[in-house]
Amino acid sequence: MINISIVLYRHSLSEIIPLVNTLRKSDKVSCIYLIDNSPNPTIEYKDLPVNYVFTGKNLGYGAAHNIAIRHTLDKNIPYHLVINPDITFNPDILDIIVQFMNNNSIIGQLMPKVYYPNGEIQYLCKLLPTPSDLIFRRFLPAKWTKERAAKFELRKSGYSQLLDVPYLSGCFMFLRTEALKEVGLFDERFFMYPEDIDLTRRIHAKYRTVFYPEVSIVHHHAQDSYQSFKMLKIHIVNMIKYFNKWGWFFDKERKQINKDTLKQLD
* Interatomic CA distance for residues 50 and 31, integer angstroms: 7
Q: Would you say 241 and 190 are in contact if contact means Cβ atoms under 8 Å apart? A: yes
pLDDT tens, position by position, 192-251: 788 999 999 999 999 999 999 999 999 986 554 445 667 778 878 888 888 888 888 888
Reply yes or no on whether the pLDDT at 76 is more than 60. Answer: yes
- Average of per-residue pLDDT across 20-34: 96
- CATH label of the domain that carries residue 9: 3.90.550.60
Neighbours of 250 (CB within 10 A): 7
pLDDT tens, position by position, 137-192: 665 556 656 788 899 999 999 999 999 999 999 999 999 999 999 999 999 998 87
pLDDT tens, position by position, 87-126: 999 999 999 999 999 999 999 999 999 999 999 999 999 9
Q: What are phi and psi of 188, to 5 degrees?
A: -80, 0
SS3 at position 99? helix
In total, the chain counts a number of residues equal to 266
Query: What total number of domains does the chain contain?
Result: 1
Instruction: Give CA torsion, residues 147, 149, 150, 155, to 10 deg.
Output: 180
**What pLDDT score does 145 carry?**
66
Angle between helices 131-139 and 229-246 (to 10 degrees): 160
Domain interval for residue 75: 2-263
User: Given CA atoms 21, 117, 195, 40 in this order, what sign does their dihedral have?
Assistant: negative
